[in-house]
Chain A
Amino acid sequence: MESIGFLIDGFALAIQPVNVIYAAIGVIIGTAVGVLPGIGPALTVALLLPVTFKLDPGGSIIMFAGIYYGGMYGGSTTAILLNTPGESASVVTALEGNRMARSGRGGPALATAAIGSFVAALIATGGLAFLAPVLVKVAVKFGPWDYFGLMLIAFVTVSATFGSSPLRGLTSLAFGLWLGLMGLDQLSGQARLTFGVPELLDGVEVTTLAVGLFAIGEALLVASRHLYKPEKPIPVKGSIWMTREDWGRSWRPWLRGTLLGFPIGALPAGGAEIPTFLSYNIERKLSRKPEEFGSGAIEGVAGPEAANNASAAGTLVPLLTLGLPTSATAAVMLAGFQQYNIQPGPLLFTQHADLVWGLVASLFIANVMLLVLNLPLVGLWVRLLAIPLPWLYAGILVFASMGTIAANPSVVELLLLTGFGAVGFLMRRYDYPVAPAVVGLILGPLADSALRRSLQMSLGDPLILVHHPSSAIMIAIAAIALIAPFIFKGLSRFRQDED
C-alpha cells in the first residue's frame, strides 16, 4: 500500500498552480489537435512535443499527460461527428456513434464517450498506480536476457500477431529496426549505416520518423485521393445530456470495457483495437436491445470508448515500468521522456519517483479537466472540424516541419522527414502498417544492447538466452506468437493499424 503515500506526494506536485495550468493547456491543445480529422493520438503527441521542449521535465511531462488524454478524447469526437476516425481504435466508436449523431443523438453519444472515458481512465489510472510498483519489484530482477525476450514478444505482437498481414507488419518492423541501426553504436562507438553523413551519427529521431510517416504520409495520401472537401460534421442537436435510460444502458458497458481494456493494454502486446472490438461484440450480445446495433446503440459507444481509454492507460504500465512501448503513441511518449534524459524502466521509480507519481497524479487531474472542459466546449471542437482541408493540411505540414527543425536545425533532418513522408505514403497506399516501424526504431537499439550485454556476461555463449527459464519462456512465447497467425489464419481477423 506504499502506492498511496507516493500518490499523495504526486498529487502534492501536480496540484501546484503552475502544474495545473500545464495540465489544462495540455488537455486543451491535445483535444484541439486530436479533433482534427486524420490526426490520432500518436501524431498529436509528436506534433506537440516541441511545445514542451523548453519546460522543466516535471511540467512538460504533466502537460504530456494532458495532451495524451486530450488527443484520445478528440479522436472519439471526430469519430462520432465525422465518421472518419483519426485512429483505428476509434473505428468501433464511429460504427454506432456516427449513427447516433445522424439520428440526432450526437449529444448523448459524445456524453457517454466522455463520461465512459472518464470512468475508464480513472479506474485504469488507479490500476496503473497499484500495478506499476508490483511490476517494478519483478522488473528489477530482470537480466538483459529477460529484456531481450520481452522485446522479442513486443516485436512480434506489435507487427505480426494482430496485423492484417503478418508479412507486411514484419516488413514495417524491419524498416524501423534498420533505421535503429543508424548512428553511433552505444557500446562500441562504431558508426553504422551513416554513409559518411555526420548528421546521421546521432541516429534517427523517433519524432522525425513518426511525424514523417504519420503527418506527411497522411497528407500525401489524402491529396493523392482528391479528398479535398471536408466531410460536413453532423451538427449536435438537442440536449447533450444523457437521459436516465442512457445512463442505465451505459454504466455496465463502461465497466466491462474498462475490465477488457486495461489488462490487454498492460500486456506487452500493444494495441487498443482488440479490446474495443471485443467490447463491441460483448455489448452487442448482452444488450437488451440488440436490434439497435448498427443503427445507433449507446452501448456500442460506451463500451468501446471505455475499453479504448482503459487500454491507453494500460500501455503506460509496460512503458513506465519496463521502458517498453507497445504502441506508436507510447513510442513517441518514450521519445519525449528521453528528451530529458529520463529513461523509463524500473530505475525510474527509484531515481525519479516524484516525476512518476506526479505524472500519475496528473493523469487523474487531466481526466477530470477533460470531463469538465470538453462537454461544454463541444461547439468549439465541432467548429475545428469545419476547417477547409487545404488549409488544415498546409497548417499540419508547417507545424510538422517546424517541430523537426526546432529539435534539430539541419537540412538533413528535413530531407529525412520528406523521405519518411514518401515512405509513409507508399506504406499506406499498399496497406503496410506504420506503427511497427516506430516501435522498431525505438526498441531495436535497446534489444541490440540487451542481447550484447547478455552475451558479454556469458562470454559469447548464445545459450544463455535459454538457460534462464524466464527468458526461455518469453522467447518461446514470441516464437509461438510469430508462427500462430500463419497456422490459424483466423487469428488475423483483428486488424491492427497505426493509432
Chain B
Amino acid sequence: MQLKTIQTANRPAAVVAVVLFAIAAVTWWDASHMTARATYGMSASAASYLVAVFFVALGLAHLVNAFKPADIEAEAADWGAIGWIGVALAGLIGAIWLGGGFVLGSTLLFAFTTRAFGRRALLVDLCFGAVLAVLVFFLFNKLLTLALPMGPLERLF
C-alpha cells in the first residue's frame, strides 16, 4: 500500500530523474573514452565530467521531489493529434531522405499538420500546402539563393 502511494506521488519527477541519471551515465562513459589530453590545466573531458556530475545532482533532487505530491497537474493531452504532427514531420524527413525534394516534403508536412489541428479536408490542404511550398521555394531558392533540397519537381524550374 505504501509503495503504491509512493508510485503515484509524482511520477513525472521520477521519470525525469531516471532520464537525468541515464544522460549522466552516457556523458561519463563518453568522457572516459576521450583520448586528447591537455599538458596542463583541464582537458576536454573535464567539462563532460562536470556536466555529468551536474546531471546526477539534478537527478537526485528530482528523486527527492518524486516522493512529494506533484505541484502541477499535467493537462489531458490528445495523443492522436500529436501522432499526426509526428506523421507530418516523418513525411517531410522521408521525402528529403528519399530525394523527393523540398516541395513534396513541405506539402506533406503542411497537410498532415492541418489534420492534427482537426481539419479533415486533406485534398484541399494538400493543394494549399503545395502552393505555399512552391512559393517558399521560389522565394528562398531563386530569390535568396538558399540551397533547399532538390527533388524531381524542383529540377523542372
A53 to B31, alpha carbons, bound, how many Å? 35
Contact digits for B63-93, partner A, Cβ 8 Å, 1 yes 0 no? 0010000011011011101101100110011
A189 to B35, alpha carbons, bound, how many Å? 10
Q: Is the Cβ of B75 less than 8 Å from the Cβ of A429?
A: yes
How many chain A residues have a CB neighbour from B under 8 Å?
Answer: 61
Count class of interface residues, chain B: 35 or more
**Shortest Cβ distance from A358 into chain B, in angstroms?**
21
Q: Which of A404-459 touch B at CB < 8 Å?
A: 405-406, 409, 411, 414-415, 418, 421, 425, 429-431, 444, 448, 451-452, 455-456, 458-459
Residue numbers in B under 8 Å from A193 (CB-CB): 26-27, 30, 48
**With known contacts A395-B132, A398-B109, A430-B12, A411–B40 Cβ distance under 8 A:** no
Q: Does B123 contact A (CB under 8 A)?
A: no
Residue numbers in A under 8 Å from B149 (CB-CB): 405, 409
Of all chain A residues, the one with the shortest Cβ separation from B77 is: A224
Of all chain A residues, the one with the shortest Cβ separation from B97 is: A411
**Shortest Cβ distance from A443 into chain B, in angstroms?**
12
**Shortest Cβ distance from A54 into chain B, in angstroms?**
5
Q: Does B14 contact A (CB under 8 A)?
A: no
A32 to B45, alpha carbons, bound, how many Å? 45
A171, A177, A429, A459, most chain B CB atoms within 10 A = A171
Contact of A50 among B72, B106, B140 (CB under 8 A): B140
**Shortest Cβ distance from B142 into chain A, in angstroms?**
12
Q: Is the Cβ of A430 less than 8 Å from the Cβ of B84?
A: no
Q: Does B21 contact A (CB under 8 A)?
A: no
A276 to B47, alpha carbons, bound, how many Å? 36
Q: Is the Cβ of B109 less than 8 Å from the Cβ of A401?
A: yes
Q: Does B148 contact A (CB under 8 A)?
A: yes
Contact of B144 among A53, A195, A429, A458 (CB under 8 A): A53
Residue numbers in B under 8 Å from A406 (CB-CB): 140, 146-148
A-B residue pairs, 3 tightest by C-beta: A390-B117, A455-B41, A190-B44
B residues contacting A by CB (< 8 A) are 12, 16, 20, 23, 26-27, 30-31, 34-36, 38, 40-48, 51, 54-55, 58, 61-62, 65, 71-72, 74-75, 77-79, 81-82, 84-85, 88-89, 92-93, 96-97, 102, 105-106, 109-111, 113-114, 116-119, 125, 128-129, 132-133, 136, 140, 144-149
A residues contacting B by CB (< 8 A) are 50-51, 53-54, 165, 167, 170-171, 174, 177-178, 181, 185, 187-190, 192-193, 195, 216, 219-220, 222-226, 228, 389-391, 393-395, 397-399, 401-402, 405-406, 409, 411, 414-415, 418, 421, 425, 429-431, 444, 448, 451-452, 455-456, 458-460
A-B contact pairs, 6 of them (CB 8 A): A171-B58, A177-B54, A190-B35, A405-B102, A414-B96, A452-B38
Known: A398-B110, A402-B102. 6 other contacts (CB 8 A): A190-B45, A222-B117, A225-B77, A394-B109, A397-B85, A411-B97
